[in-house]
Chain A
């Protein structure tokens, strides 16, 4: 069958099982857009390319499928770079299709030309420029394969306009084989035996779970391990939802804004089982004093993550689910042996005592609504079943601390890059995937303004996304650092000049609510959540509330500032 490049591209997307494309048209991709109505997937027209890529990323995080983003050349492509870097840092499978000027013009500084392959080399898992239509189908096949396999990540394919117009025979390549790319998914048997022995010997084991648990779909296996061996669990920000947040073995998040119990547990543990988690500096604090008494087992599908920040005693390159299944097989026959069960029970009591003595806490009362209370109410009203997206800053940390995530893929947040403006478009992506679920973007008044234009996307697509703005009229997290470490010099963090968010919502055709008194919090949130339209709920909160506990940068995890 002879097809144009544009038709081949879209046939490939169909074969890859793509349902939705998030994009924004332009000259270099006109041929693709011309063919788009003839194909069975939905196109979501964003209002800014950054919105499109974050939405594709949110869709990928919520579903586990590859998100697809289609933009034009030049500024269209460069506007996606922040979103690409966001997906790269958090290992999210996204395929970015960028238009390019015709091959004859490449390198001539043509109108809307940019070397997007060069620009995105450091922040993509891999990228391609298609220079021959005969390579197009195989390149798209490779791009999806790379994006979703091994350590997932964003893959960009740059598509020159003339390649999209040329005609050739369409052949779908059934297999992909890359001689240089063979991710190791299965753990080494000897290493599994070693881990099994370490767990049985350990008196104070701790599971430290990361985003890898979620992307590999290993929650059930993790629960099995923790429950059957009485091992408490903590997680990174990206790992939230990987273990039920309402389980007695759950300690809460670890690190800079982690719980007292989690930070004390890691400091005391004699065995840390790090599963699909990088040892990010926001988690370890002062690396030399991180888990000083522990033997480290580190499981990661990406070998570069192992031995990068901490010295690991048992490195295991494997998919988290494969690892946990193999470990389960090795431990199942010895479950019930009293030698280690008893020892762990004492340890579990110890960490639970820490949780009871120092739970996540904030001072209630006073004239203002407390932002933590707002998150608690969202949790209560949604019964912990909502998909929560966040922006970045205090809103993100309060969401991570006070919403007890029970299921994986229900917390969408820019962990590695810390991208303000991520949450709202990501929530749009999630709502596209799950039109009937409650999707809430917990935002700050600063960060919501970074991609507020996507409100039009939500309205145009009838997506009932809810944005709860924890409005403190500050860039809150920066202000907190200025208060604690910069002599309260609130340089340029006061956001007093801000739009009327209620009117803004209404201007877009969405619903707008404002909550200024605590007595209205629950009823207004309920009313807004029941509205079948997108809505902004502008909650005026305590302007100087801080996120606690807090470990100052460079300190050890035991040096926590509590409320």
Chain B
């Protein structure tokens, strides 16, 4: 099963390598890993998407917590969470196809961020379902390139 781990770490050299090394050293796979500073000085947030059974995920979480530079680990799969990813998609867009692609862009509330004679680059943000649906629709036009951020996620606020 896919799990999204929210990992708060010290923002210092080598932390990413410690985390990535923990996965590779134990044969665990990282599906995506996203890291950026938080508003708190000296602290970064990593969002790691990974796949494994219950026992593997338990080990990953425990091993992450064991790293001295890791401050907190939350498995967001256990919580209601907002999970988003941004993808840039460069797609073939000759004159005859362009209108249809733009309709799809409109329906999916994406943005066209670059245009040339025969290509469009589309920026899309959303959960995995939305992104996969969009990619499935665009494949037939010929996708030339994609760049994905990987998941960024956080727990939803408590309701009531």
Residues of A within 8 A of B (CB): 117-118, 121-122, 125-126, 129, 146, 178-181, 302-304, 307-308
Contacts and interface: CB of A to CB of B under 8 A. Distances in A.
B83 interface: no
B87 to A, nearest CB: 32
Given A118-B17, A121-B17, A121-B21, A303 B62 contact: yes
A229 B45 CA distance: 50
Given A179-B71, A304-B59, A308-B59, A122 B21 contact: yes
Given A302-B66, A303-B62, 13 more contacts: A117-B14, A121-B21, A129-B13, A179-B71, A180-B67, A180-B68, A180-B69, A180-B72, A181-B68, A303-B65, A303-B66, A304-B59, A308-B59
Contacts of A179: 71
B18 interface: yes
Contact of A304 (B17, B25, B62): B62
Interface residues of B, number: 20
B112 to A, nearest CB: 42
A307 B55 contact: yes
Contacts, number: 37
B16 to A, nearest CB: 11
28 contacts: A117-B14, A118-B14, A118-B17, A121-B17, A121-B21, A122-B21, A126-B68, A129-B14, A146-B68, A178-B68, A180-B10, A180-B67, A180-B68, A180-B69, A180-B70, A180-B71, A180-B72, A181-B68, A302-B66, A303-B65, A303-B66, A304-B59, A304-B62, A304-B63, A304-B66, A307-B58, A307-B59, A308-B59
Main secondary structure of the interface of B (DSSP, over half): helix
A121 B23 CA distance: 13
A70 B63 CA distance: 29
Nearest to A306: B62
A554 B63 CA distance: 26
B119 to A, nearest CB: 39
A338 B154 CA distance: 56
Contacts of B62: 303-304
**In this complex, which of B17, B62, B69 has the most chain A Cβ atoms within 10 angstroms of its Cβ?**
B62
Contacts of B68: 125-126, 146, 178, 180-181
A126 B14 CA distance: 11
**In this complex, which of B13, B14, B68, B69 has the most chain A Cβ atoms within 10 angstroms of its Cβ?**
B68
A38 B148 CA distance: 58
Contacts of A121: 14, 17-18, 21
Interface in B61-113: 62-63, 65-72
Contacts of B71: 179-180
Contacts of A118: 14, 17
Nearest to B63: A304
B1 to A, nearest CB: 17
A125 B63 CA distance: 12
A310 to B, nearest CB: 11
Nearest to A150: B66
Contacts of B72: 180
Nearest to B25: A122
A403 B55 CA distance: 39
Nearest to A308: B59
A290 to B, nearest CB: 16
B44 to A, nearest CB: 13
A408 to B, nearest CB: 25
Contacts of A129: 13-14
Contacts of A304: 59, 62-63, 66
Interface in B43-64: 55, 58-59, 62-63
A453 B52 CA distance: 48
Nearest to A183: B66
A296 to B, nearest CB: 15
What are the nearest 5 A-B pairs in CB distance?
A126-B68, A304-B62, A180-B71, A303-B62, A122-B25
A122 B63 CA distance: 12
